[in-house]
Amino acid sequence: MEPHLIEIKKPFNKQKMVIRLTLVSIVALTLFAFLTFDYKDIQFLDAVISTAQTLKTMFIHPLLHHITFIEAVKFLFVTLGLAFLTTLFGAVIALVLGLMAATNLSNPTLSIAVKGVVAFIRAVPTVLWVLIFAVAAGLGSVAAVIGMTFHSVSYLVKTYSESFEELDKGVIEALKASGANWVQIVFQAVLPSSVTYLISWTFMRFEINFSVALAMGAAAGAGGIGFDMFMASSYYYDVREIGAITYLILIFAILLELVAGRIKKVLRVQN
């Protein structure tokens, strides 16, 4: 007698269904968009070949024409300065607000209020904040620094507060029982245990600000290497210079990553 096969039906999973419908919708909309694009008599194959030739010229034969190498490095450090200032200002302000936003260190109402405000700030793109402040300060480095700092604060408050909230509640309760006040708890327990995470998040934001500063050099007239790349791409249309600037930025970004990794490694060893 053959055993009866029992069919086990999996329960309906609403989450998986939503994910599948979303993916199918994205694919359908993408195909529809490609089919309905106004290509303006551009041949797709010719466009691909032309793009490949442009990329070849850009990255195989890079050359600075309108600025010297020394000037390019100088402008690169201007961009680095913008990123450093915005990260420094943002980290200092975010440290205070992060302590207020942490649920284990602050009043619940104050925590919710701070998190709500920074969530709204974070939802608005950085370039919009820069343009908003440019109305008062004018286009330039001042508006770029204020706008980028505004967005950096909102980002770092979230990461800092989450790092503070990971601290064991038993440690805080023990310090309170021993008579320690809020300031002593912060400096004796919270900051020492979270310093590695704080520096890691700060360096990550610094890398983001460096990338944003490149864009703000063109969008907000903040100067730096981003403005020169904008001029090379939009005004001169010198793809070889774009390639040279891209290589310079890439090398500098790799150096920043190596320095950040080294500092994090030293901190982990000390802890």
Is the per-residue pLDDT at 213 higher than 90? no
Is the per-residue pLDDT at 40 higher than 80? no
Band of pLDDT at residue 95, cut at 50, 70 and 90: very high
Q: Give the max Cα distance, the chain.
A: 88
pLDDT top residue among 138 and 74: 74
CB 143 within 8 A of CB 220: yes
Domain range for residue 155?
84-270
CB neighbours of residue 39 within 10 Å: 9
Residue 175 lies in a domain: yes
* CATH number, position 123: 1.10.3720.10
pLDDT given for residue 26 in this prediction: 93
CB 90 within 8 A of CB 147: no
Residue 57 lies in a domain: no
Residue 17 lies in a domain: no
Is the per-residue pLDDT at 270 higher than 70? no
Residue 48 lies in a domain: no
Band of pLDDT at residue 152, cut at 50, 70 and 90: very high
Tell if the pTM clears 0.85, that is, is over it.
no
Residue 192 lies in a domain: yes
- Count the alpha carbons within 13 Å of 40 in the hemisphere toward its beta carbon: 1
**What contacts 215, CB < 8 A, 6 or more positions away?**
127, 226
Residue 227 lies in a domain: yes
Q: How many domains does the chain have?
A: 1
- Amino acid letter, 218: A
Is the per-residue pLDDT at 182 higher than 90? no
Residue 110 lies in a domain: yes
pLDDT given for residue 160 in this prediction: 92
